Amino acid sequence: MPTSGPDAMQPALRRRRRRQGFLLPFACLSAALIAAALLPGAAFADGVTPSEARRLRDEVKDMFYHAFDGYMQHAFPLDELRPLSCQGEDSLGGYALTLIDSLDTLALLGDKERFDAAVEWVGKNVRFDINKTVSVFETNIRILGGLLSAHLIASDYATGMRIQSYDDQLLHLAADLAQRLLPAFDTPTGIPFGSITSTAGGGTLTLEFGVLSRLTNDSVYERVTKNSVRGIWARRSKLDLVGAHINVFTGEWTQKDAGIGTSIDSFYEYLLKEAYKAAMHYLHHDPWYVEVNMNSGATVWPLFNSLQAFWPGLQVLAGDVDPAIRTHAAFFSVWKKYGFTPEGFNLATSTVQNGQRSYPLRPELIESTYWLFKATRDYRYLDVGRDILASLQYGAKCPCGYCHISDVETHQQDDHMESFFLAETVKYLWLLFDLAAGPDNIVENGPYKYIFSTEGHLLPATPQIALLDEHCLYAGAFCNGTAGHGYGTGDSSNKHQNANSVPFDDSRTPSDQSLSNILSTTRGYIKGVCPGLTHAQKLGISYSAEEDNSIQQNSGSSENFDESHVIKSSVQAQSSSVILISHPVASQTEEPTSGRSQYNANIVATAESVGTDTAGASSHPEDLVKETESVSEQKEINDKEIASQGSQPTEGRYLT
């Protein structure tokens, strides 16, 4: 193959022509559909006023109770409501799915009476010792997340929803459920078993399992789910793209289409920092996104699918607002065209994709609308919310709830209502209008910053969950003796133990070889003082083998490390699954002389130890850990204290 001259340029030119072949219809479609959406006043009626926002908020509340009451009267305790026939069905596991998924929405609406009654019923009646085949992914985000969110609300006086008689019943149920799901992770790759394991299914588990680990002081849950994400990311292509489905036994990709939608979507909520740059380079055809081959980057599917609509909201949380605005306008133009977003919209033909004509009451577009309004306070997004609400009221409302739309062109209704309609769709719509009316809810005015899970469950960034001021390696795997195997086992950890904590039970930790391997590869976030830790382990960072050897040879520097040089971590909730842990560390006085004179100053962690910077840029770790750009602009660093210690912040390192 020639390395220079005209012949060498031919492959690149062919690739460019191949990409441009798809770009032309995108450009025409964008001009035709979204121009009005980007021009204030051109597409909407009079803007939503604060008084109308209050009326719309109340209308959404009525929408919730129409669906919730319909479920309770006609379907409970079955999983989900059939809103046309006013009957129920077991769709996931037969444990009152819709009720559990709705618990924190009841709390958000301030309905203490129904919240109390629902929590009490779930605690007394739901059991998981049943013979059912379930989806690990759906059970995690809907049931485990719902139980944990409700537990954290019901057990805390600061939320205003504390239940006097509550005695951690939901937490015990959550631990029992997670324990029953653990065998699914016993695969050669560490990715949990499924009939067809998607990237999202294996990579969207750490937030719920991680919170459970920190509440129960049993680190195994977080370890196995982090190991699953590592198992997927380690098999990314050279382009830093991941496919849609993977064989959990061989680690081979069974579907190599990379995209931001179906089967991959929520994976980006955990590894956005690592994956964002590649996604924007290969998948983004402004303002749309396509699916490409993960190895070549060639476009294979010019399709907008409704699950992509979460992406602008995620971009807002990453600080990349401008492309989020354009993409949201494009996605909403499809809603305007049909009254709903179909599961698939072909960008090349500007038509609904055959076989993907339905709208199953998905929340993703509403979620992005909420985050864009929160970031910009542009009242255009209230107009979007009003339009979406009108579509749901006039097209999806049915006798006992809200129906799936089986065909967005005919608006034919289907007799089904997913639990996420009450957990997410209604929740984000209510939050949108409440924010405009003058917010009065625990998310905006409560005692904590809240993380929204993939299912929209509210998880507070409390010190216990965020590991603020912990003095032991977070996973506890390296702590010996009295340090135990769990979280927060140092001297000061008892400050953050509360009545909600369940003692760590070592007998519950699986002893098989695959899980044992996880113990030896776990990384931490926060500096520890456990005996026997290397310098790297104390700071919660990873080194190459060469670097590890160098540090072991200079063990004195680790032993003499002045721990007063570590400033308290400050924790700040950044997104639906992002926690920023600011951890400036002074340089050591006794360093190896190999040019590594400073160690990490900044550690960014998420539910999967991934942070997003305000520019929305991305970082790509080599072997999961790599030097990246500093994100000091996001951190609250005590400059005077650093200066007094004779230290300057160094580059950040992103852990996975």
pLDDT tens sequence across 573-585: 222 232 222 222 2
pLDDT tens sequence across 51-72: 999 999 999 999 999 999 999 9
**Residue 166 belongs to some domain of the structure:** no
pLDDT at 62: 98
Backbone angles phi, psi at 64, to 5 degrees: -60, -50
Check pLDDT > 50 for residue 449. Answer: yes
Asked about 265 being catalytic, the answer comes back as: yes
Check pLDDT > 60 for residue 31. Answer: no
pLDDT at 416: 98
pLDDT tens sequence across 365-398: 999 999 999 999 999 999 999 999 999 999 999 9
pLDDT at 2: 41
ω into residue 287 within 30 of 0, thus cis? yes
pLDDT tens sequence across 160-173: 999 999 999 999 99
By DSSP bridging, strand 404-407 and strand 412-414 are: antiparallel
ω into residue 77 within 30 of 0, thus cis? yes
Residue 293, beta-bridge partner list:
257
pTM: 0.71
pLDDT at 14: 35
Q: What is the mean pLDDT of residues 79-96?
A: 96
Check pLDDT > 90 for residue 349. Answer: yes
Boundary (domain end) residue, out of 412, 441, 472: 412
R_g of the chain computed on alpha carbons: 25
**457: CB partners within 8 A, 6+ apart:** 104, 141, 145, 146, 148, 149, 208, 423
Q: How far is CA 134 from the centre of its chain?
A: 21
**Residue 363 belongs to some domain of the structure:** yes
First to last CA, the chain: 38
The amino acid sitting at 610 is V
Separation CA 375–CA 648 (nearest Å): 32
Q: Which of 79, 168, 269, 343 is catalytic?
A: 343
Number of Cα atoms under 13 Å in the Cβ half of residue 200? 19
Burial class of residue 411 in the structure, from the number of CB atoms within 10 Å of its CB (0-12 exposed, 13-18 middle, 19+ buried): middle
Regarding whether 312 and 390 lie in a shared domain, the answer is: yes
Tell me if 310 sits within 8 A of 265, measured CB to CB.
yes
pLDDT at 46: 66
The DSSP string of 331-389 is: HHHHHHHHSS--SEEETTTTEEPTT---B----HHHHHHHHHHHHH--THHHHHHHHHH
Boundary (domain end) residue, out of 224, 256, 271: 271
Q: Which of 79, 269, 364, 414 is catalytic?
A: 364
Regarding whether 195 and 263 lie in a shared domain, the answer is: yes
Separation CA 513–CA 510 (nearest Å): 9
Q: Which helix (H) or strand (E) holds 404?
A: strand 404-407
Regarding whether 390 and 311 lie in a shared domain, the answer is: yes
Q: What is the mean pLDDT of residues 97-111?
A: 98
pLDDT tens sequence across 389-439: 999 999 999 999 999 999 999 999 999 999 999 999 999 999 999 999 999
**Residue 251 belongs to some domain of the structure:** yes
**Residue 239 belongs to some domain of the structure:** yes
Range of the domain at 198: 186-271
pLDDT at 606: 30
Boundary (domain end) residue, out of 271, 294, 329: 271
Asked about 138 being catalytic, the answer comes back as: yes
Check pLDDT > 50 for residue 495. Answer: no
pLDDT at 26: 52
Q: What is the mean pLDDT of the chain?
A: 75
Strand, coil or helix: what is 245? Answer: strand
- Binding-site residues sit at 454
pLDDT at 33: 52
pLDDT at 603: 24
Regarding whether 229 and 308 lie in a shared domain, the answer is: no
Regarding whether 192 and 265 lie in a shared domain, the answer is: yes
pLDDT tens sequence across 123-179: 999 999 999 999 999 999 999 999 999 999 999 999 999 999 999 999 999 999 999
Tell me if 450 sits within 8 A of 442, measured CB to CB.
yes
pLDDT at 38: 55
pLDDT band at 463 (very low <50, low <70, confident <90, very high): confident
pLDDT tens sequence across 641-651: 333 333 332 22
Q: What is the mean pLDDT of residues 281-295?
A: 98
pLDDT at 262: 95
**Residue 209 belongs to some domain of the structure:** yes
Separation CA 222–CA 609 (nearest Å): 11
- Binding-site residues for Ca(2+) sit at 454
**Residue 387 belongs to some domain of the structure:** yes
Q: Which of 104, 168, 222, 265 is catalytic?
A: 265
Q: For the chain, what is the largest distance between any 2 Cα atoms, rounded to a whole number of angstroms?
A: 79
Question: How many domains would you assign to the chain?
Answer: 2
Regarding whether 314 and 245 lie in a shared domain, the answer is: no
- Alpha helices, DSSP H only, in 377-512? 380-391, 420, 426-437, 442-445, 463-466
Q: Which of 58, 89, 138, 407 is catalytic?
A: 138
Check pLDDT > 50 for residue 48. Answer: yes
**Residue 147 belongs to some domain of the structure:** no
Regarding whether 313 and 253 lie in a shared domain, the answer is: no
Strand, coil or helix: what is 240? Answer: coil
Asked about 590 being catalytic, the answer comes back as: no
